[in-house]
Amino acid sequence: MYFDAVVAGGSVAGLLCAREIAAKGFTVLVIEEDYEVGTPEHCGGLVSISGLEELGVVPFRKTFDHMIESAEITAPNGKSFSINSKKQKVIEISRRELDKQIAFQAQKNGAIIKVRTSFQEMTDTGIRTNEENIDCKIFVDARGVSSLIQKDRTGILSSAQYEIYANWIKKRKVEVIFDQEKYPGFFAWIIPSGEGKGKVGVAGKGINVAETIEKILEEKGEYSTIRKVFAPIWIKGPIEKFVENNIVIVGDAAGQAKPTTAGGIFTSGMGGVYAGQAIAEFLRTGDKSKLEEYQTKWTDRFGKEFEKQIFARKILERLDNNTINKLFESITPEILKDISEKDDFDFHTGSIVKLLGLKGSIKTAQTLIGGEFKKLLR
């Protein structure tokens, strides 16, 4: 069996890559090791409308539930503030349905998709799956964080996300909870998928995520769990090389999820789009330099923002609970209004700078978090 390209991983990045290759008339096979595209759903499901539009996706009715109107951020001492997020036009989507919608786009363009089929190894002429050998010119690794675990464990955190029913989950309001003792190096989150239902998640360094999330739920009140997902997340930013010989790496496997939140529908999805376009050009011309244009395009678009997010992450990881509480006390209504006016969900380092007080009170911020913050202001 022969295909011009084989994509391992039927998630957003891999499917968008396949869609772009097939759109230019080349043969492409997508193999997904799970029994269903879109399952298991690791993602929180937040994405901007503008991001989806750039990915070439107008969400179906069952993919898109509602707009997010506010985000409540809570400090370790329980004090919180709210950000009006209407201007950012962020929506909560069903990742199961989004992945299927993009799979349909890829299939309409000519891609073939197979589930319960896993990549085993490279061969001299292509790849071997659990079922057969397949010859191909290009192999696309879109297998997610699992591809990174053997390369570098230092960028990986354990995480858990439960889908639950609970009357304390409010439609249109996201919650983020910081506590460096309970969730060191990260945070807990609540993302509504409707009134009285949603996703509760947690990640952190060296914690038992199952025990931690159970404690969060016990403290919040009555709930019913309908699904549990345990999956690692990657927070270290992009890997060094997206292209190695005839292997092209996209999405989470390339470290294209945001270092601050590990979210990556848009940033990973654009990795898939850029990769697919570059692969199609290589297949058309036979010029291997065309493949390198993929990494150049992605880095030009997201590189500086990701560098800033990595610095922001290093700063946030150094803060103890006492410092976080003090920073929360220094946040003014003017700062919150300024952040609410910002309309770019995917390039959010500017909002982090404002929340840390880096522009409003340089001396205070320098005392609290040292000199590294200057890199964020560039």
Give the domain ranges of the chain.
Answer: 2-66+89-151+236-301, 156-234, 310-377
pLDDT for 23: 98
What is the pLDDT confidence band of residue 354, given thresholds at 50, 70 and 90? low
Rounded to the nearest 10 degrees, what angle do helices 95-109 and 12-23 cross at? 20
Q: Do domains 2-66+89-151+236-301 and 156-234 have the same CATH topology?
A: no
Using DSSP's 3-state secondary structure scheme, residue 184 falls into coil
Indicate the average pLDDT of the chain.
89
- Token pair of 204 as six digits: 């952190």
pLDDT of residue 362: 41
> If pLDDT is split at 50, 70 and 90, which confidence band does 348 have?
low
pTM: 0.91
Is residue 192 within 8 Å of residue 165, measured between CB atoms?
no
Higher pLDDT, 268 or 340: 268
Whether residue 49 has pLDDT greater than 80: yes
The pLDDT of 217-227, averaged and rounded, is: 95
pLDDT score of 154? 80
Which of 29-38, 242-251, 296-305, 347-356 shows the lowest mean pLDDT across its residues?
A: 347-356
Which is higher by pLDDT, 363 or 295? 295
Residue 64 token pair? 């898109």
Average pLDDT for residues 348-369, to the nearest whole number? 56
What are the tens digits of pLDDT across the range 182-206?
999 999 999 999 889 999 999 999 9
Query: What's the whole-number mean pLDDT along residues 47-69?
Result: 88
Domain 156-234: assigned CATH number? 3.30.9.10
- pLDDT over threshold 60, residue 267: yes
Between 147 and 349, the more confident residue is 147
CATH superfamily of 2-66+89-151+236-301: FAD/NAD(P)-binding domain (3.50.50.60)
Q: What is the DSSP code (8-state) at residue 259? A: T
In 10 A of CB 197, how many CB atoms? 18
pLDDT at res. 64: 83
CB 9 within 8 A of CB 251: yes
Mean pLDDT of all residues in 329-334: 86
- Average pLDDT of the segment spanning 23-40: 94
Higher pLDDT, 302 or 362: 302
Q: How many CB atoms lie within 10 A of CB 188?
A: 22
**Per-residue confidence (pLDDT) for residue 149, from 0 to 100:** 78
